[in-house]
Amino acid sequence: MRAQIIRRITMILLTAILLFGLVIHASALDDTYRFDELGMSIKFPKNDYVITLNTPRGDEVFDKVKLDFDETMTAFKAANIYLRAYDPEMVYQISMTINKSDDTAAINNYADLTSAERKSLIDAVQSDGSVSSAVEVKRNGNIFIDSARETTVDGETIYINQCNTVINGMQIDLTLQKTAEQITGEETKALSNAANSLSFDHVRRNTGPVFDWWRLLLWVLILAALAIAISVIYRHHNAAKKRKLEERRSLRRKAAEAPEESEPAHAEEKEPMTFEESLGYKDDEEFAERAHADEMAGYDIKVRETDPNKGIAYFEDEGSSIDDGTDYFDTYFKEPTEQRPWYRRLGSAIATYVKMAANRIRRFFKNLFKKKR
């Protein structure tokens, strides 16, 4: 029993070692070609002859494929070819071209398109009379359009298979080209393996509008600053208003407590105080301005009784009375106001409070600059 268990454990360990060796061997069969400026890489078999834009002058690969360095680089740059791989028998070649334009930037990624939009791209490819087939293929989360076609140059037939995609706003074409003979299944697999090996540092996807948390934070800070400023202005104005109110009340109390002096019979009769003067306003214009502002705000306060000699007024507002001549808003009316439609009252109130807020802000900064001086 123990020997059987040992044999099983041994078989498991040998299998694991064998699989690990196969993985290492498989990974060693390919060379990785890196393009840092594009943030991408691609793999090709070690036996392939591969030339890239980064291949240095004097590399032995140019002798093996019998190409001139300067001519090759000039052709690569003219056609936006970043890499070309030749099989060991020099039967076929695979080229990788990369192009950028406003159209590819707008697409960004084939995976961002709808199925209907990708279908229209496939139909556009198939509209070329030389194309025999075009299909959509998904590789590592990326969408490719694989197509096959053939063309004739100088009486010689050229067979072409292509894997086309757009990733990160770049149009990438992997094109396998072979002369005189049909492309075999193994050769098609080599092209597909190259497309499968495409790797990107970061794949940018347009998955919908991105919520900008920094912009939200900026708006929160702006609104908070405005709220603090309005609060400071309101408190400053309220404090000044309360001081004025207390001064008026103090003057009225002193006037009420002061003994009445008898005037000589021959003295001229003093002109009685106006209602505005009894309330502490310096003239009719100041009273009218405040009364109009409060009327525009929609208050409906009626004067019930006044006593100009004592500077005391009695008011009535929907059944409630205020005996000291002032209410919280310091509001006075000579006549009952007309009941207006709600929308007029609302518009008047908004206009009045906007004007009042502007005046408060102006006064606040005016006083602030005065203090600094």
Q: What is the pLDDT of residue 284?
A: 54
Q: What is the pLDDT of residue 372?
A: 58
**How far apart (Å, rounded) are the C-alpha atoms in residues 84 and 107?**
26
Q: Sheet containing 30-35: which strands, arranged edge to edge?
A: 30-35, 40-45, 199-200
Residue in the structure block whose two tokens are 């494929």 = 65
**How far apart (Å, rounded) are the C-alpha atoms in residues 38 and 167?**
11
47's CB contacts (< 8 A; 6+ apart) are 87, 88
pTM over 0.85: no
Lowest mean pLDDT among 142-156, 251-265, 319-333: 319-333
Run of H or E including 314: strand 312-317
Could you report the per-residue pLDDT of 67-90, keeping only the tens digit for each? 999 999 999 999 999 999 999 999
Q: Mean pLDDT across the stretch 193-214?
A: 79
Checking if the pLDDT of 317 tops 50, the result is: no
Report how far Cα 303 is from the mean position of its chain's Cα atoms: 57
Helical H runs in 197-212?
none
210's CB contacts (< 8 A; 6+ apart) are none
Could you report the per-residue pLDDT of 150-203, keeping only the tens digit for each? 998 888 899 999 999 999 999 999 999 999 899 999 999 999 999 999 999 998
Checking if the pLDDT of 110 tops 70, the result is: yes
Comparing CA positions, the residue from 306, 229, 319 lying closest to residue 275 is 306
**How far apart (Å, rounded) are the C-alpha atoms in residues 64 and 40?**
27
Could you report the per-residue pLDDT of 336-350, keeping only the tens digit for each? 344 567 677 677 778
| pLDDT, greater one: 202 or 18 | 202
Phi, psi values for residue 40, rounded to 5° = -145, 165
Lowest mean pLDDT among 59-63, 125-129, 149-153, 262-266: 262-266
Run of H or E including 95: strand 92-100
Q: What percent of the chain has pLDDT over 70?
A: 67
CA atoms within 13 A on the CB side of 152: 4
